[in-house]
Amino acid sequence: MSPSSEPESRRAVANRLLGDHVVAPENSAFLHDLLELPQTTEERAVYDAMDAAARERGKRTLAAALVLHCSRAQPTLLIVEDLHWADPQVLAYLASFASAVSGVSGFLVMTSRVEGDQLDAAWRASCRGTPFATIDLGPLRGDEALSLVGNFVDATHSVALACIERAGGNPLFLEQLLRNAQEGSRDAIPASIQSLVQARIWIGSARATATHFK
């Protein structure tokens, strides 16, 4: 989809939701705001009369209603990763989504680091009793790490074993270490995520330069 067609596509979605009565006419201002579409003169007048909190509540309620509509129409799975980076506004939307899918064919899956997990008692209370389960994922076992390594290099290779030891059971770190070993030097294993990112940036820059001067 070209950038010029995106507003037209969003406008078509808005018209369909309003035409099918999924969104009530009195909520059209919130819909247009969510889709970043221009509002009518009447909508703008009503919107300008609201304070910021009222606008946020309206958009959040509308977004939850859309999730509910989709879940009633067919089973719906919502996936949100890296919840530990979420700000209060995002957390409020997720609480609304969690409440919306309760009791219908909807499922909200969220991932977060243990440190920085923001789903505290106050957030859970805001979901109005929505049932949920928490699954704690521990570090990779030795056999699991070897299985992951086998997708990249010989699991008995000294570099592979060094990557496993350095990753300390972190699957994402291990995967990135293995990719770095594939793309760059097999002699040096980055000591941290930061040094790994720097190494991969250096490799990417070197490749770009090599391609440029071919």
Q: How confident is the model at residue 213 (pLDDT cuts 50, 70, 90)?
A: very low
pLDDT higher at 214 or 42? 42
Ramachandran region of residue 192, left (φ > 0), alpha (ψ -120 to 50) or beta? beta
Q: What sections of the chain are H helices per DSSP?
A: 6-19, 28-34, 41-48, 52-73, 88-101, 121-125, 142-149, 158-167, 171-183, 193-212
Task: Decide: 13 and 35 in contact? Cβ < 8 Å.
Answer: yes
Q: How confident is the model at residue 129 (pLDDT cuts 50, 70, 90)?
A: confident
Note the pLDDT tens digit of each residue in 150-168.
877 665 677 788 888 888 8
Per-residue pLDDT at 137: 82
pLDDT higher at 3 or 20? 20
Residue 195 has pLDDT above 70, yes or no: no
Task: Decide: 116 and 84 in contact? Cβ < 8 Å.
Answer: yes
Q: How confident is the model at residue 191 (pLDDT cuts 50, 70, 90)?
A: low
Of 72-76, 130-134, 172-176, minimum mean pLDDT range = 172-176
Residue 109, phi then psi, degrees to nearest 5: -115, 130
Q: DSSP letters along 163-175, please?
A: HHHHHTT-HHHHH
Per-residue pLDDT at 41: 93
Match 């890296």 to its residue by tokens.
Answer: 82
Closest CA to 208 of 183, 190, 186, 191: 183
Per-residue pLDDT at 113: 83
Q: How confident is the model at residue 107 (pLDDT cuts 50, 70, 90)?
A: very high
Residue 79, phi then psi, degrees to nearest 5: -120, 125
Residues of the chain with pLDDT > 90: what percent?
Answer: 44
Per-residue pLDDT at 128: 76
Q: How confident is the model at residue 178 (pLDDT cuts 50, 70, 90)?
A: confident
Per-residue pLDDT at 3: 45
Question: What separation in angstroms does the CA of 182 have from each of 151, 168, 174, 186, 188?
Answer: 11, 19, 12, 7, 12
